[in-house]
Structure 1
């Protein structure tokens, strides 16, 4: 079954980073593109806060279009996990050397559900 995100509600952007919020049913999907580092991590943190205030039944952060993932970005993922679990299922979409590899090397894949595609993350919700 194909999963489609609909209702793009908001876009938060700073130079080098854009976070778009969309929905798949009652699951909020935050799609991040560009660089996720100490200069842009607050952009994602703000988007997470905005999404959680809407009362989603699940939250997915899609890092597929991220070109650089620094520790500040990973800190936002940890903080998001800490505020959502166990009440709101939380997952990350990451694939390849730029995103999935740093998450695996730091051990975050043992704590946070990481999926290679958005479809896989939506199916797991």
Structure 2
């Protein structure tokens, strides 16, 4: 499941459950919808994600590329199901990674 919201002018796309080849298109569509609005900042919140497959990681990389210079994009992920794979494959090297939504929002506002 994917939802969109905003906090203090920061766009947030939050996913939950499993992100795999069947559900990654939902996340991709939500991120595209958010990026079309050209927010200054976008947080992808994976706090409630139980499993992140390579298809989901590919969506994050594509969103980072699509955001370009106009939107600052970051990811909230903590734990072995999300942050660990993002670090292992090197995505955390190109997309800022935060442990909590509050940390991410504070970073983007600062």
Count of residues in Structure 1 that have an aligned counterpart in Structure 2: 108
Q: TM-score, normalised by structure 1?
A: 0.84
Please list, as runs of the form range in 1=range in 2, the aligned pairs for 1:72-87 lying within 5 A after superposition.
72-87=55-70
Partners of 1:79 and 1:51 lie apart in 2 by 13
Where does the alignment leave 5 or more consecutive residues of structure 2 unmatched? none
Runs of 4+, deviation exceeding 2 Å:
none
Deviations 1:88-108 (CA, angstroms, capped at 9, x unpaired): 100000000000000011011
Q: TM-score, normalised by structure 2?
A: 0.95
* Cα displacement (A) at 1:50: 1.1
Partners of 1:121 and 1:28 lie apart in 2 by 11
Alignment root-mean-square deviation, CA:
0.8
Secondary structure at 1:55 match in 2: coil
1:36 counterpart = 2:11? no
Larger % of strand: which?
A: 1
Deviations 1:39-92 (CA, angstroms, capped at 9, x unpaired): 000000100111112231111000000011000000000000001122210000
Where does the alignment leave 5 or more consecutive residues of structure 1 unmatched? 1-17
Q: 2:42 aligns with which of 54, 59, 64?
A: 59
